[in-house]
Structure 1
Amino acid sequence: MGFYWIKTNRFIKFLFKQYHWDIPNNQKEIFLTFDDGPTPAITEWVLDVLKTHNIQATFFCIGKNIHSNPSLFTRIKEEQHAIGNHTFNHTNGWKTTTDLYLNNISICQSILKKNNIKSKLFRPPYGKITRSQASILQKKGYKIIMWDVLSADFDQTISPKKCLENVIKNVKTGSIIVFHDSIKASTNLKYALPKAIEFLKEQQYSFKTIQ
């Protein structure tokens, strides 16, 4: 799967401090986020879990998936979760020209606007975005949301138990935590998410959306 940080390195946060890696607070608030949906069956399952626990989260949606699953996207919106842009088709900024990358984001943003979503939250797929791409987006008013804790649910070489451990051993007040409502992540997600929520509640964390 290549190298990735489970707990984002402090030096990386300092080096790219113009991005949002966590949201410091004194209230034991944390921020659950889900990338790559909406995905039939998987996103519905996630929404059911969140509803059971009365939790709001932030969904970084792919434009083509919104287009293909309008009723599922409507449910995310109606259940008052926050929504962000994750490009139209999961584009890697490091492998795409700035013009094409920004256009891909713009297409997704147009779909969000048609659905009455005014959010300017953006998460780059794979966390890969160039400085010039980021600078232009920030001038347009976007907030670039990264993460403090990566569950790595997408990594099919790790066990569901390891996925859970990635979260509960690294979370802290203010953590932005990433899961994926995707088919590839589903086995790890379905094991880890409910158990992670139960653990975090036991630790007296509260769950907030990113604004």
Structure 2
Amino acid sequence: MSFYWIKTNSLIKKLFSQYIWDLPNTEKKVYLTFDDGPTPEITEWVLEQLELHNAKATFFCIGKNIEANPSIFEKLLQRRHSIGNHTFNHLNGWKTTAEDYSTNISLCADSIKNHSIEINNPQSKLFRPPYGKIKSIQAKKLKSQGYKIIMWDVLSADFDQTITKERCLKNVVSNIKPGSIIVFHDSVKAFKNLEYTLPKVLKYLDENNFQCEAI
């Protein structure tokens, strides 16, 4: 298993301050994010859970999944959640040339735009690099195009099939603070942990007077 931070180290945030790791505030607002969808049944289940708690979120979508599941993608827009670009093919920036990476992001942007026309959703300028891996030259080009690169403050690690669902829950509730950007995944791989964790996180946030907002 690869090493990863559950709570992003403050030194990392300072070293890579050109990225957005959290959105500090005094109003107890937090930002739930979901990567890798839209995924049949799972994304729709996530939407149901969010609606139960009047919570908004940000979905970083893979272009090929938008193309495969356009009706689910449109539900995200209809329910007023934010959309972010997560490349077309879930590329690892460290293993991809700057040109290929940029092209893949543009393909995803086209998918977002093409499936947002009827709903008249503004073109998304939020981007999250798959695996959190991006080269400085890739980031520089994105920023020149007006993108905000959204990382995270808290990683649920729902994708990690070696951890228990209880550990996944603890990863989140033990580390949330006002302004936290929290990562979940609306994917098949993560669903075992997500199904247990998300309802309990939403309940915890309600009980502690947090507001879930879209980025």
TM-score interval, smaller chain: over 0.9
**CA drift at 1:28:** 0.5
**Could you list the per-position Cα deviations for residues 154-209 of structure 1 after superposition, in whole angstroms to 9, with x for gaps in the alignment?**
00000000000000000101000000000000000000000011111111111111
Superposition deviation, residue 115 in structure 1? 2.2
CA distance in 2, matches of 1:182, 1:25: 30
1: CA distance, partners of 2:194 / 2:82? 20
Secondary structure, counterpart of 2:106 in structure 1: helix
**Structure 2 length as normaliser, TM-score?**
0.96
**1:27 matched to which residue of 2?**
27
Aligned residue type for 1:67: E
1:169 corresponds in structure 2 to: 174
1:122 Cα shift?
Answer: 0.2
Report the equivalent of 2:87: 87
Cα distance in 1 between the residues matched to 2:50 and 2:85: 21
1:193 lines up with 2:194 in the alignment: no
Residue 103 (structure 1) aligned with residue 103 (structure 2): yes
Q: CA deviation at 1:119?
A: 1.0
- Supply the AA of the counterpart residue of 1:12: I
Q: Give the residue type in structure 1 aligned to 2:48.
A: D
Answer yes or no: is 1:149 the counterpart of 2:154: yes
Q: Give the corresponding residue for 2:210.
A: 205
- TM-score under structure 1 normalisation? 0.98
How far did residue 52 of structure 1 move?
Answer: 1.2
Number of matched pairs = 210
Question: In structure 2, the residue corresponding to 1:204 is in which secondary structure?
Answer: coil
Segment of structure 1 superposing worse, 43-52 or 181-190: 43-52
- Written as runs of structure 1 = structure 2, the 5 A alignment for 1:32-47 is 32-47=32-47
CA distance in 2, matches of 1:113, 1:181: 21
1:170 alignment partner AA:
N
Write the letter of the residue equivalent to 2:22: D
> What root-mean-square deviation, in Å, do the aligned CA atoms of Structure 1 and Structure 2 show?
0.6
Amino acid at match of 1:43: T
2:183 maps to 178
User: Paired residue for 1:65?
Assistant: 65
Structure 1 equivalent of residue 125 of structure 2: 120
Partner of residue 49, structure 1: 49
Structure 2: gaps of 5 or more residues: none
